[in-house]
Amino acid sequence: MIDYLNARSSVDLSTAAAITQYLPARLKNLKKLILAEGINNAVETLKNDPDIDSYLFIIDNSEPYRLVAYSRHPELFNKTLSELHQIIEVDSKSNEYCVEKALKDIVAIAQQIKTYTGYRWKTSAKDKLQYFVAYSTSVTLNNSTYTIGATIPTTKTYTDIVIVHRVEQVLKRIKKEGIKHIALTINTNLISSYFFIQSNQYPYRFIVHREPWTGLDPKGATKLRDPNCNRPECDVVQSARILRQSLTLKQYSKKEGCFGVYPWINKVGEEPILKITYIKPFEFQKKQFFVGTGLAADISLKDARDLQNLVKNCVKYIKEVGLENTISAAKKSNKAERYLFIIETKRPYKFALHLDPVYDQHTTDEVQSHLQSLGSTETNITEIAENIIEASRKGLGYSASKFFVDTQNLQKGTTIKVFYSELFKYNEKEYVVSTGIPIERMFNEFDKENHKETKTSSEKQGE
């Protein structure tokens, strides 16, 4: 038997690049094993899988789903959702249920495209919930359909891996199958992971969406969704405008994907949230479109407005007591978990205020040089500054960019950071004042505050 407890890792999986090389290779080998030896023999092999860096899994897609195999954990083999609930969640609090959602999300997305899924999981009732990312696909053997994949625990899910890859895979399907076929199939069984495609030319009609909006322009979609809408968070016209304007920011001028941030209500009657969506433009039959999908890191609009109020109060304070006095006060009140920064809007983009001394009173080029000296090259500070400045000029307020999880510890990698920013002028000079919050923090706050104490179907089956 392999001593997994004391075994040492053979692969450095601290970066998104390493994960996106490693997991597909593991999935490829698993598929080879299944095709060569059959499901039953593959299941036996997975009981003593020698690789300690990831888990391999096989799920039977027949309702209500069955975890056929989960490497190195024979106690979970051939267990239904209700049986897994009894093993993993029997002592869990109501906001810690993960089995049903995790397996259904993985199966649903794998039936559409070979890609990544972010989810929460644990292997026993005593374990704490962890964030995982899986790379999986659907296979059919002997008239039965399975989802097979490789997975590791990591916080690098939506930001660096899942969202971008999913959109790229949808674009491949569009190129191969055409938009009409995609419109009929892509959102089958998908809920939080759904995709949308919208025309990027007037009248900006929806081609694909989870909602029955096909053929409607944003105004028609608003009337269908909420005919009494009188707020930005239910206005499809405004959210569509924000997404289109996000694509025009200088940082994304090379037809690359970008993040759009806007107030939204997932369902009429629910509390509004701040929605984060990844979109990418494309051309099909000489017409312009963009495809997108949302992130699961929504936060309440109330929490989002705390960012907004912090910035607005800062601008108000500058008008009352001057920029120098405001900076002096902010240096005392700024904290690691929430801080204000101020950037000059003309080259060389000097930080007039920042919590981090590496940034404070330095230009973006100087910061970039320092980061490169530390071996970090995946984040372009000048582009981020330009993105924030341009978003402020367009009146977007909220924007998002890839940024460091921790500026004092670059080894933690990058995340998506949501900013709220506003322009102001002082002594005939233009500045932007801004604050931001990393997506992981938003995700964790969302988990704590928004999980309802309701029983899942797997819970009820297990009673």
What does the pLDDT look like over 340-377, one tens digit per residue?
A: 999 999 999 999 999 999 999 999 999 999 999 988 77
Mean pLDDT of all residues in 122-144: 91
pLDDT exceeds 50 at position 449: no
Is 3.30.450.20 the CATH classification of the domain at 16-154?
yes
pLDDT for residue 69: 97
Average pLDDT over residues 187-208: 91
Q: Does 297 score more than 70 pLDDT?
A: no
Length of the chain measured in residues: 463
User: Distance (Å, rounded) from C-alpha 222 to C-alpha 234?
Assistant: 7
463 has pLDDT over 60: no
Task: Identify the CA nearest to 356 among candidates 334, 375, 323.
Answer: 334
Query: Which band of pLDDT confidence, cut at 50, 70 and 90, is reported for residue 338?
Result: confident
Average pLDDT over residues 187-216: 91
Please tell me what DSSP assigns to residue 142: T
Residue 177 is predicted with a pLDDT of 93
Fold match between 16-154 and 301-448? yes
* Residue 217 pLDDT exceeds 80: yes
Torsion angle of C-alpha atoms 246, 274, 172, 155, degrees rounded to 10 = 120
DSSP H helices in 64-211: 81-88, 99-110, 163-177, 179-185
- Is the pLDDT assigned to residue 455 strictly greater than 50? no
pLDDT of 190 reads: 85
- What does the pLDDT read at residue 302? 84
Residue 286 exposed, middle or buried by CB count within 10 Å (0-12, 13-18, 19+): exposed
The pLDDT of residue 94 is 59
Please report, for residues 7, 26, 55, 289, 326, the alpha-carbon distance to residue 51 in angstroms, rounded to integers and kept in the order given: 10, 9, 8, 43, 55
Q: Tell whether the model's pLDDT for residue 378 goes beyond 80.
A: no
pLDDT digits (tens, 9 = 90+) for 271-295: 888 899 999 999 999 999 999 998 7
Q: Where are the domains of the chain?
A: 16-154, 178-296, 301-448
Alpha-carbon distance of 421 to 385, in angstroms, equals: 11
Tell me what the mean pLDDT of segment 382-395 comes to: 92
Whether 23 and 54 have beta carbons less than 8 Å apart is answered as yes
Mean pLDDT throughout 183-196?
Answer: 86
Report for 14-23, 88-97, 155-164, 249-258: range of highest mean pLDDT: 14-23
For position 345, what pLDDT does the model report? 97
Q: What is the DSSP letter of 139?
A: E
Residue 35 host element (H or E): helix 16-46
The pLDDT score that the predictor gives to residue 443 is 59
Does the structure show a pLDDT above 60 at 453? no
CA distance readout (Å), 61 to 209, 218, 427: 24, 36, 65
Between residues 275 and 160, which one has the greater pLDDT?
275
User: Could you give the count of Cα atoms lying within 13 Å of 383 in the half-sphere of its Cβ?
Assistant: 15
Could you give the CA distance from residue 123 to residue 1 in angstroms, rounded to a whole number?
19
pLDDT of amino acid 458: 38
Q: Which residues contact 460 (CB under 8 A, 6 or more apart)?
A: none
The pLDDT confidence band at residue 445, using thresholds 50, 70 and 90, is low
Query: Quick check: 326 pLDDT over 60?
Result: yes
Minimum mean pLDDT range among 155-159, 281-285, 301-305: 155-159
Residue 80 scores a pLDDT above 90: yes
* Highest CATH level, class, for 301-448: alpha beta
- Distance separating the N- and C-terminal Cα atoms of the chain: 35
Task: Report which listed range, 1-10, 87-96, 306-315, is most confident.
Answer: 306-315
pLDDT band for position 131 (50/70/90)? confident
Please tell me what DSSP assigns to residue 410. G
Bond from prior residue into 263 cis (ω within 30 degrees of 0):
no
Three-class SS of residue 309?
helix
How large is the angle between the packed helices 323-333 and 301-321, nearest 10 degrees? 140
What phi-psi label fits residue 234: left (phi over 0), alpha (psi between -120 and 50 degrees) or beta? Answer: alpha
Mean pLDDT for 47-60 is: 92
Task: Look at residues 242, 240, 275, 303 and name the one whose alpha carbon lies nearest to residue 416.
Answer: 275
pLDDT in tens, 171-181: 999 999 999 98
Please calculate the CA angle 190-194-200 and round it to the nearest 5 degrees: 150
Which residues lie below 8 Å from residue 409, measured CB to CB, with a gap of 6+? Answer: none
pLDDT of residue 460: 40
For residue 296, the model assigns a pLDDT of: 67
- Give the integer Cα–Cα distance in Å for 443 and 440: 5
What's the whole-model pTM score? 0.85
What CATH architecture applies to the domain 178-296? 2-Layer Sandwich (3.30)
